[in-house]
Amino acid sequence: MTPDLAQVLNTVAHEIRTPLAVSQGYLKLFLDGRLKEENEIRRAMEQTRQALGALATLCVDMGKVSTLAESAEARGIPVRVPAPDFVTSLLAREEVQHAAFTGSTGTAAIATASVADLAHAVAIVAKSAFDEERDEPHAIEASQADGLLLIAGSTKALASMSKAPDAPGARAVDFGKGGKGLKLIWAAFVLDRHGVQTWTDDASRASVGFRIPLVQA
């Protein structure tokens, strides 16, 4: 489900709050003369720089989300990309490069105006699941079931993961998860544009499923 305007604005407000408070806090300490040692000042300035960098990244992500409101014509004409080529693009993403890949994609194709954006969106959501169990090995399983079915997560979570969005124990993915900036919001819009169904497990957020529509190549 694509986030609505209220969810987008709430996420923006939440993500701005922390880096803004950090920046203001350290600058106040500096201006009040409470940072005496050179190493204290250096650390405060570095923390402020990182916080401002987070705000700059958020601005970039806001721009990416806003472009998704463009007309269908502005988004480009969809082309048919073979499913194996899409998976190759997905596995090249930094977010999922470490994950083991198993299964088969078949010979059908995916209709997309940007295979890079679709692969990035899937990788972002998969990474969010991976982060729930960082110390566990991660994997992506592929199969065909009314589309290209991808199940991503820790190997422990995958053992009990629901294999369909309407299966018992499946629930909606939380795209407004805190600490992720607007990346998940952007991914949600991209996935919705492609008609991708997503779900996670009711008992664990360490796995996520994707059902991507296929067309004949």
Domain boundary among 22, 44, 67: 67
Number of domains in the chain: 2
As to burial, measured by CB atoms within 10 angstroms (0-12 exposed, 13-18 middle, 19+ buried), residue 16 is middle
Residues 78 and 58 in one domain: no
Residues 40 and 138 in one domain: no
Residues 128 and 59 in one domain: no
Residues 60 and 128 in one domain: no
Q: What is the dihedral of CA 62, 67, 69, 74, to 10 degrees?
A: 180
CA distance 198 to 64: 21
Task: Write the CATH number for 142.
Answer: 3.30.565.10
Q: Report pLDDT digits (tens) over 136-171.
A: 999 999 998 889 999 999 999 998 888 888 888 888
Flag whether 217 is in a domain: no
DSSP letters for 30-59:
HHTT---SHHHHHHHHHHHHHHHHHHHHHH
DSSP letters for 82-99:
EHHHHHHHHHTSGGGTTS
Residues 87 and 57 in one domain: no
Token pair, residue 113, equals 């105006």
Angle, alpha carbons 209-210-213 (nearest 5°): 155
Residues 92 and 147 in one domain: yes
Flag whether 84 is in a domain: yes
Domain boundary among 30, 52, 67: 67
CA distance 84 to 180: 29
Domain carrying residue 126: 73-212
Tens place of pLDDT for every residue, the chain, 217 residues? 567 666 777 777 777 888 888 999 999 998 898 888 999 999 999 999 998 988 888 888 777 777 765 544 445 678 899 999 999 999 999 999 999 999 988 888 999 989 999 999 999 999 999 999 999 999 999 998 889 999 999 999 998 888 888 888 888 888 876 666 688 889 998 998 899 999 998 878 899 999 999 987 6
CA distance 124 to 184: 7
pTM of the model: 0.79
Residues 93 and 44 in one domain: no
Residues 87 and 174 in one domain: yes
